[in-house]
Amino acid sequence: MLRLAKKMQDCIFLVVCLVVSSTLAMSVDDGNMVDIDEKKNTTDDLLVDDIHEVPENARSTILGGPGLWKSPVPYVLDKSLDLNAKGVILRAFDQFRVKSCIDFKPRDTEEYYLSFQNLVGCWSYVGRTFFNGQEISIDAGCDHIAIVEHTILHALGFYHEEIRHDRDDYVQINFDNVIAGQEGYFKKLGSDLSATHNVSYDYLSVMHSGKNVLSNGNGSTIITKDHKFQNVIGQRLDMSPRDAQKLKLLYKCNSTVASMFFCDFSNGMMCQMSQMSSCAQSDSEWEVVTQVSSGPSTDHTTLPAGNGENGQETGYFIHANTASGEEGDSAWLETQIMSTKRECKVQCLQFYYFHSGNEQDELNIWIREFQDEHDTKGTLRLMGQITGQSTYHWQIHHVSLNAPKNFRVVFEVRKGAGNSAGGFSIDDINLSETECPHVTLQIDDLEKLLSSSDFGTRIYSPRQYSKEGYAYRVAAILYQSFVGMYVQLLSGDNNDQLEWPCLQKQMTFQLLDQTPNMQKQMSKQIGFVTHQSHMSWGIHWWDNPLTSPWTYVFENGEFLFGGPLVGYPYLASMEELQTREFLKGGSAIFTFNFEDLTPLVNGSSLPCPQVRPMNNTNRSTNRDGGPCFLTGVPGFSPGLAASPVLSLLLAMISMQA
């Protein structure tokens, strides 16, 4: 079955972490697809009996005291757990690290620890209750990140939102519609047993039950006083910003474990970043602006979202102009000093950029690393570069970093040889001590594409390589009213050296919530683990495409062998895309991770990810016009400070008719 990819008529930009490519394929081929038929049931059926009480001591620990855990919380992943559940639990831990001060660690000899097991159902005790392993059950049907977060929040001291003592001001419980004998599920807590921490009632809480929980079939059991939230309660995307806020208040902390830096340039401020003078005596510098004549006309932060909401306040971003000056002129901007805290020295820089300059202009991302408290100058290391064609939308970009010690992030815009009408703009910067997505696919004007494209139109990423060397690509499939996401193994450089079939790999698809601050995002993600049972017509889905090909792929003038496309046809409906900030300025962003879970078969943690060295062929070799060293505050030692890190890699691909 020979597939010749039809070239696309519109321009779509693809951002791919860790890989640079030059081709994006689009086709309307209906063959070679396998849907994952497991239904991720994220309804309240899974959580009806999710709280296990301690006999004669069923008090909420949400008031604090000995029922709280000491961070990092020790844990064990029991062998009874499904492998996918283990991977989802680790991904949930990262959400707690990004959004709160709660961390987790594999148990050593601690007396109190969480023992994650498959004990039938999804349930937990409330607060720290037992020593020698407090059970928390995550069975194979509970392996969804929001369900896992919900269950962990019980263990950390949370009850359901709708039983807080002031709930009657916000919801009505219709007991006539409750299954007989289940009325106790809705028993309201007294203020002596729980605390709201002065945080408003949260219809978006991941701890809130859905409108039809325990319904006898005669109608909804929970009615919201504010009717616009009736179909919102019971969301199973992610913990909400107020969930994270209450967790911080409960554990009396203000910081987070993994979030290092955020800046949306609100109020026209540069977030304490510093201009660096150029030794070439260039007049170039970064400016805080509200618009640029050559684009963009607005910032990214306040772009209208699919839910109809957009910021009414004036939006700001930073811009470095390349329309004037001489070739080689550069503008430099660097953050405060960042300090790494986690054992794995890996960071992810995420930001949005707009390129309105010449294709030879450069946006370079560096880190300045400090060896110790005596090193006041630091050493610059290039981590990423953006150049090439100008853009027409704000583009997301990820840079993988691996700073082992204190560092600064440095942005440099360097004027190229050609004429420029604009320059580079940056907005909504997030830096975290987490791993970047392995593939990022941005689809601009998605709503228009869905309505105008043929049913089943596919948008492919270029060929990627996993950490182990498996070649693959990701596909977004447009179905007019919904979007599917799939992954496909391809022939590659390492096929004869790899183990086949490709098993125990977790494939995670995510629709990104583009809320500017990642601590407030509620993205949608779903995934599966490659398994020995994944077969059709006697052929394994994850076998070597060279020996068991399902199709042929034509990319960059080369014929490749491919396996089937495996994934989810209903990743997101148009209705879902119009909630949160999944659609922003008309663009949707999908990410994908390809993770080997083999170490979790008999273990409770994964090895630290390795950041690949940057392979940059466009980098300017003459750095005589680089920055003059900026010492910062007199008497201040960079080796003693703290903050974030970044690294990036981009592929911008256009598809022509």
> Which residue, 100, 141, 101, is CA-closest to 120?
141
- Separation CA 171–CA 231 (nearest Å): 13
Is 397 annotated in a binding site? The answer is: no
User: Measured on CA atoms in the order 114, 116, 119, 122, is the torsion positive or negative?
Assistant: positive
> Which residue, 578, 595, 554, is CA-closest to 483?
578
Q: Are 483 and 476 in contact (CB under 8 A)?
A: yes
User: Which residues sit opposite 484 in a β-bridge?
Assistant: 477
Q: Is the peptide bond before 72 cis (omega within 30 degrees of 0)?
A: yes
- Separation CA 228–CA 248 (nearest Å): 28
List phi, psi (to 5°) of 508.
-120, 125
Q: Are 14 and 441 in contact (CB under 8 A)?
A: yes
> Which residue, 572, 575, 435, is CA-closest to 509?
572
> Which residue, 263, 185, 271, is CA-closest to 222?
185
- Separation CA 471–CA 464 (nearest Å): 6
Q: Are 265 and 316 in contact (CB under 8 A)?
A: yes
Sequence-separated (6 or more) residues with CB below 8 Å from residue 55: none
Q: Are 137 and 121 in contact (CB under 8 A)?
A: yes
- Separation CA 354–CA 350 (nearest Å): 14
Place of tokens 């554990």: 251
Is 150 annotated in a binding site? The answer is: yes
Is 154 annotated in a binding site? The answer is: yes
DSSP characters over 513-550? P--SSGGG---EEEEEE--TT-EETTEETTS-TTTS-S
- Separation CA 27–CA 453 (nearest Å): 10
Sequence-separated (6 or more) residues with CB below 8 Å from residue 471: 463, 464, 465, 489, 490, 491, 492, 493, 494, 495, 560
Tokens of 163: 């039983």
Q: Where are the extended beta strands (E) located within 202-316? A: 222-224, 259-263, 274-276, 286-289
Amino acid making up residue 17:
C
Q: Which residues are annotated as a binding site for Zn(2+)?
A: 150, 154, 160
Q: Which residues are annotated as a binding site?
A: 150, 154, 160
